[in-house]
Amino acid sequence: MPATAPPGIVDLDRVATRTLPNGLRVRLLSERSTPTVSYYTFFQVGSRNERPGLTGISHLFEHMMFNGAAKYGPKEFDRVLESQGGTSNAYTSNDMTVYYEDFTSEALETVIDLESDRMRSLSVTPVTLEQERQVVKEERRLRTDNSIFGLMEEQLETLVFQAHPYRWPVIGWMDDIERIGREDCLDFLRSWYAPSNATIYAVGDLDPDETMALIEKAYGDLPAGPALPAVPAGEPLQRGERRAVVRYPSQAPALLVGWRGPRAADPDAVALDMLQLCLAVGESSRLRRRLVQEEELAVSVQISWGWRIDPGIFFAFAELAPGVKVERAEKVLYEEIAKAAGKVMSAREMQRARSLLRSGVLHELATHGGLAHAMGQAEALLGDWREVGRSLERYAAVTPADVKRVAETYLAPERRCVVELQPEGER
């Protein structure tokens, strides 16, 4: 869930913003509490913008971005950054690719130089592509092929989405990772990595005017990119439960149940945040209490509701106690969801959810990186970075009836997708 700033915590009126003639958007905030700066670059491209046969290219390309450009050659990016007291990383999601640097404030000019250099002139060589391909295959083996949750999640996505690009994993299918060629990467670079598809957020010990001037100088002459194709968002209406079984030599069973939710920008998204809190965050949440404490069917239970540009997944994952039949845990889970859909949450539960959400927001905005990231998420998902300052109000506006309605609407039995892990054999 994206963060929101309670009034008075972060003064968003101080954010300096500009859109350069080439379309690059810039948002800067001076916060001098710590002598560091966090510099985020959001590209509006993720696995959502891929096509079958090239799944995983957004993520593989993210790796390529660290392999050298015209001014700073291979291996130079991190070397230069680290030598000036900084660190860098990146992630790719279904909707976006995000690069970030945290560094001592003296290194700001260098970071702008490094980031603009790779946006301007990334080099994609056969040798580096092959190396990164091997690294990404190891990453896939780690997170998916040898991970029980990874195996189950991959199945869930193919159940919840039958047409939308969200149906394939961000890391891509192994076959596609093998297949992606240099030309594919260069096409991808030209289409998606133009300034017109990027936004920069910098928060920390910086001077906004000076920083804006440096950014204009470094990025200003880059050409705007091409018009980008729309993502096909069609999805067949689900009219009944969908199910998959994962058989694996695990020691104990597990259950993953997902439902297709609304888009992040839909007002129902915040009501589902509240539902998530009531059901599975904290020891006194309904599912934790019933599945873990009272009936001891599960060792752990969690709900994930990740906001996405297009309708995303609301899912419950439970690691079950050894020997527990999956259907028993399913029955309890569905009973609790039916209760949430049938009767409004108590005032106490609503208050508890709001308190936890407020605390979560305060924690997220307590760091330069957290704030820069929250602004980027808000702009990418909701269309406006200023939403960072508004969502506590939106949580306050959610009524018990809203929470009941979203449980009833989105978590209806005929909309659910179930993945069960069946331990295979004895070892």
Partner 1 sequence: MKPSRIVLPPVHTEQLPNGVTVLAAERPGVPLASARLVMRAGSSLDPAGRFGAANLVAEVARRGTHKRTGKRIDEEVEALGAELGSGTDEDATSFGFSAPVESLAKLLDVVIDVATDPVFPAQEFLRLQRRELASMVHDMDEPAVVADRAMLWAAYGSHPYGHPVEGTARHISALRRAQAIDFHRKRYGPASTVLVLVGALDLGRALDLARAKIGRWRAPAAPARDPDPPAACPRRVICVDKPELTQSQVRIATPALPRSSPQYFPAVVASSVFGGGFTSRLMEAVRVNRGLSYSVRGRFAMSRSAGLFAMASFTKNESVVELIEVLLGEAKKFCDSGPSQDELERTQSYVSGLYPLTLETHDQIADKLADTAVYGVPIEQVVQYRERVREVTAEQCREVACSHFPVEQGAIVVVGPAKQLARSLERFGPVTVLPARRFA
Based on the shown chain and the rule CB under 8 A, indicate whether residue 322 belongs to the binding site for partner 1.
yes
- Asked whether the CA dihedral 398, 400, 402, 403 is positive or negative, the reply is positive
Smallest distance from partner 1 to CB 301, Å:
12
Phi and psi, residue 279, nearest 5°: -85, -40
Round to whole Å and give the CA distance between 203 and 109. Answer: 14
Q: Which is nearer to partner 1, 380 or 403 (CB)?
A: 403
SS (H, E, C) 173-206: CHHHHHHCCHHHHHHHHHHHCCHHHEEEEEEECC
Residue in 290, 257, 59, 18 with CA at minimum distance from that of residue 159: 257
One residue of 49, 276, 367, 391 binding partner 1 per CB under 8 A: 367
Q: How many CB atoms lie within 10 A of CB 56?
A: 27
Q: Which is nearer to partner 1, 139 or 408 (CB)?
A: 139
Smallest distance from partner 1 to CB 126, Å:
13
Sole residue written with tokens 């948002």: 27
User: 106 to 165, contacts with partner 1 by CB under 8 A?
Assistant: 106-107, 130-139, 141-142, 145-146, 148
Q: Which is nearer to partner 1, 87 or 422 (CB)?
A: 87
Based on the shown chain and the rule CB under 8 A, indicate whether residue 368 belongs to the binding site for partner 1.
yes
Based on the shown chain and the rule CB under 8 A, indicate whether residue 83 belongs to the binding site for partner 1.
yes
User: 259 to 298, contacts with partner 1 by CB under 8 A?
Assistant: 282-284, 292-293, 296
Stretch of 177-185, 187-195, 234-242, 366-374 lying at the interface with partner 1 (CB under 8 A)? 366-374
Sole residue written with tokens 């209490």: 289
Q: Is there a contact between 389 and 12 (Cβ–Cβ < 8 Å)?
A: yes
Round to whole Å and give the CA distance between 269 and 327. Answer: 29
Interface with partner 1 (CB under 8 A), residue total 66
Round to whole Å and give the CA distance between 379 and 225. Answer: 19
List the structure tokens of 158: 């193919």
Based on the shown chain and the rule CB under 8 A, indicate whether residue 325 belongs to the binding site for partner 1.
no
Burial string for 280-302 (b: 16+ CB within 10 Å, else e) reads: bbeeebbbbbbbbeeeebbeebb
Based on the shown chain and the rule CB under 8 A, indicate whether residue 426 belongs to the binding site for partner 1.
no
User: 176 to 235, contacts with partner 1 by CB under 8 A?
Assistant: none
Based on the shown chain and the rule CB under 8 A, indicate whether residue 103 belongs to the binding site for partner 1.
yes
Burial string for 99-119 (b: 16+ CB within 10 Å, else e) reads: bbbbbeeebbebbbbbbbbbb
One residue of 7, 21, 35, 226 binding partner 1 per CB under 8 A: 35
List the structure tokens of 229: 């194709």
Smallest distance from partner 1 to CB 120, Å:
21
Q: Which is nearer to partner 1, 214 or 264 (CB)?
A: 214
Q: Which is nearer to partner 1, 160 or 274 (CB)?
A: 274
Q: Which is nearer to partner 1, 75 or 331 (CB)?
A: 75
> Which residues sit at the interface with partner 1, rule CB under 8 A?
9, 33-36, 66, 75, 78-79, 82-88, 102-104, 106-107, 130-139, 141-142, 145-146, 148, 248-252, 282-284, 292-293, 296, 299-300, 319, 321-322, 348, 351-352, 355-356, 358-359, 362-363, 365-368, 427
